[in-house]
Amino acid sequence: MVSRRLGFHLYHHLLRGKRAGFTLLEVLVSLIIASIVVSGLLYLVVELLQINRREEALTETQTNMQRAMTYITRDAQEAVFVYSTPTTVTSQLDDLPAGEPILAFWRLEPLDSDDYAGIGDCSTAFSGTEEEECNTLKVRHSTYNLVVYLQQDNAASDIWQGPSRIIRYELPKYADVSNLTTRDGYADPTTEHPTQSGETNSFSNWTADNSVNTDGFSAVLVDYVDLATATPPSDLANCPSSAYERIPSTPADGNSFFVCVRGTDPDAEDAIDRLNQDLIVYLRGNATTGRPGLINTYSEEGRLPTLQAQILIRGILNKQPNTN
């Protein structure tokens, strides 16, 4: 009888021991193992999200570079003359934004008939040279506008992001087409200079109307452009041949946005008669700074491939009449 009771108590004691659960040591070991596994999984998830966001930033920046390149290409295709030395004209523009002038050209700006619909009959509205200008405008339906592209470094206080940005400046002919009011500082490159009697302006030797300050307008085309002094790929540091002039002239002065312009000197060794002037534009973005948690400082990691576009413009170098 005693042995039965003893066996019964031992059985219940063992049963209560099994129901008591894990020991403290077992729980701690389990927690450590679980935390290691969960931490590894969380790190993997965070890293994947970070990579995804970084790729999205790089893709977005490259898309913006492609859009900017498309805009510059279409803009320059309407050019009739491109300067191989932009400072020839930029030094005369009083309201030009700060930055490095990269590309300067004259382009044909088409005018819609609605722009000058209020003029009416030219002989009634104007007289003398203005009447002649009015008649020419109605036949040509376009004006010559001066366009300049600049590269400007971004500062910490700027609203623009990335290492630098591209600015487009334009000096149009008219402030008000309806009454032929010319913009301050503008001088038509195909007619007599407004303040220099007897002097005819030209594209290559254009002189602004320096009786007043120029009154153009500017806008930022794109930011997140790579640093101008960044080292480019070796095969993209210079122009493809000596027939082109590089702007800026040396790679050390500009590498992320530069152009190669076919020379405009008719006496140059590589000059070709009746050849449409062309240029090659290079543009490279860098998705650095301005994106917290992604690529916070300038680095090679954010540098993008260099875009390149060769543009054939309207202008023809050394055009001569065909005498045959």
pTM of the model: 0.79
pLDDT in tens, 277-286: 889 999 999 8
pLDDT, tens only, 292-309: 555 544 445 567 888 999
Instruction: Tokens for 267, please give them.
Output: 């006496």
CA distance 219 to 90: 16
Helix (H) or strand (E) holding 165: strand 164-171
3-class secondary structure, 188: coil
Under 8 Å between Cβ of 277 and 81: yes
SS3 116: helix
Phi, psi of 171 (to 5 degrees): -115, 95
Q: In Å, how far are 5, 224, 288 from 299, measured between CA atoms?
A: 81, 13, 7
Question: CB count, 10 Å around CB of 161?
Answer: 15
| Residue 69 predicted with pLDDT over 70 | yes
Across 179-194, average pLDDT: 85
Decide if 178 contacts 231 (C-beta within 8 A). Answer: no
**324 CB-near residues (< 8 Å, 6+ apart):** none
Which of 61-65, 96-100, 198-202, 206-210 has the weakest average pLDDT? 198-202
Residues 282/306, Cβ–Cβ less than 8 Å: yes
Domain spans, the chain: 25-317
Question: What's the pLDDT score for residue 16?
Answer: 54
DSSP 195: S
Residue 84 has pLDDT above 70, yes or no: yes
- Kindly indicate the confidence band of residue 321, based on its pLDDT and cuts at 50, 70 and 90: very low
